[in-house]
Amino acid sequence: MILLDHVTKLYPTDPRPALDEVSLHIDPGEFAFMVGKSGAGKSTVIKMITKEENPTSGNITVGGIDLKYVKKRYIPHYRRRLGVVFQDFKLLPDRTVFENVAFALEIAGFSSKEIKNTIPKVLEIVELSDKAKKFPSALSGGEIQRVAIARAVARQPKILIADEPTANLDVLTKSEIINLLQRINDSGTTVLVTTHDENVVNNLRKRVITIKDGRIVADQKDGGVYRLDRASAEAKAKAETLEKLRAVGAVQDRAERIIHTAEEQNLASPKPSLFASDRPAPKRRVRRTKTVAETPLYSIRPTKSKKVAPIVTTSKDPFAAPTVSRKAPRTSSSPAAKPAKVLKPKGGVI
């Protein structure tokens, strides 16, 4: 069991904490990936567990041991309980594969007999039995990594920590190394692997702890995937969309303000428009007709003007009193169609 409880680590030369209140719990027998960009704090977490560095604040317990009570002289003894695969392998170049693994057992206090018995079994696990007598310079990258893993697991530690174990390896070799770590985990060893290899993490679907700027930002307990780049890409896209929306909003606001001002101005003095249909119709003088309401009651029905027959005289005597007769108006059927001569009285009063 690995337990980090509100662990903060401040390096003297760095004002920013390498770890900021990190709390983490890894159960015995678990396989967990720790992912994060360079400088996120992964190595510092490992250094906390191996007691290479001490936390500025917070508590760390590994395999039931509270690390603040492990005195300096007991640190090598404590570390023997852990298997650590370092990024730079730390193989001894002048020693064979067998001797490199043997060295790790020697410093752990194994006897020559135990070493001779143990190494063939370990080399078999990492599938390097036929390379026992080779020097590191004669090995491929994947083989070197397997020697480093053999050395870390030779003492059969309860916890195996691998720092970027697949870095600089081709795809096939990466998968061999991960399969090897999986086999070691299957035997009951707790495995913690730091990596920023998205494919490795996504293929295995294990627990994935994501660390960013010294903080754990995600902890996917099962079936985890590498979210770091995706998460930052999503955050970036979201920020860009928000920025665009804000810009559109500002343009809309401005447009609305312009329209509003234009409307106010138009109300005050209409401007001529390019389009005839937009122009106001010219004012025409409309003949005012009386409405029914205005029309006096008595003239609601306009009366037809009667044609009045002219006054005609029948006497030839110009001084005779005119015989007034009213002739019916001429009609087309009447024989007296030709009107009679109208006599006007001459001079003076009649």
Kindly list the residues in this chain that would bind ligand ADP in the complex (CB under 6 A): 11, 13-14, 18, 36, 38-44
Cα distances (Å, whole numbers) of residue 136 to 127, 162, 210? 15, 19, 33
- The C-alpha atoms of residue 17 and residue 134 are separated, in whole angstroms, by 43
Find the shortest distance in angstroms from Cβ 208 to ligand ADP: 15
- List Cβ neighbours of 199 (8 Å cut-off, separation of 6 or more): 171, 174
Name the DSSP class of 195. Answer: E
- The C-alpha atoms of residue 346 and residue 350 are separated, in whole angstroms, by 8
Q: Which is nearer to ligand ADP, 52 or 263 (CB)?
A: 52
**12 within 8 A of 49, measured Cβ to Cβ:** no
Find the shortest distance in angstroms from Cβ 51 to ligand ADP: 15
| Residue owning tokens 């174990």 | 165
Q: Which is nearer to ligand ADP, 65 or 167 (CB)?
A: 167
**165 within 8 A of 181, measured Cβ to Cβ:** yes
Nearest-CA neighbor of 191 among 108, 82, 100, 101?
82
Find the shortest distance in angstroms from Cβ 162 to ligand ADP: 13
Helix (H) or strand (E) holding 35: strand 31-35
Find the shortest distance in angstroms from Cβ 39 to ligand ADP: 4
Q: Which is nearer to ligand ADP, 48 or 102 (CB)?
A: 48
Q: Which is nearer to ligand ADP, 53 or 99 (CB)?
A: 53
Q: Which is nearer to ligand ADP, 11 or 74 (CB)?
A: 11
Find the shortest distance in angstroms from Cβ 227 to ligand ADP: 16
Find the shortest distance in angstroms from Cβ 129 to ligand ADP: 34
Q: Which is nearer to ligand ADP, 14 or 294 (CB)?
A: 14
Find the shortest distance in angstroms from Cβ 125 to ligand ADP: 28
Q: In this structure, what token pair is assigned to residue 341?
A: 């001569």
| Residue owning tokens 């360079």 | 38
- The C-alpha atoms of residue 163 and residue 167 are separated, in whole angstroms, by 9
Q: Which is nearer to ligand ADP, 38 or 289 (CB)?
A: 38
Name the DSSP class of 61. Answer: E
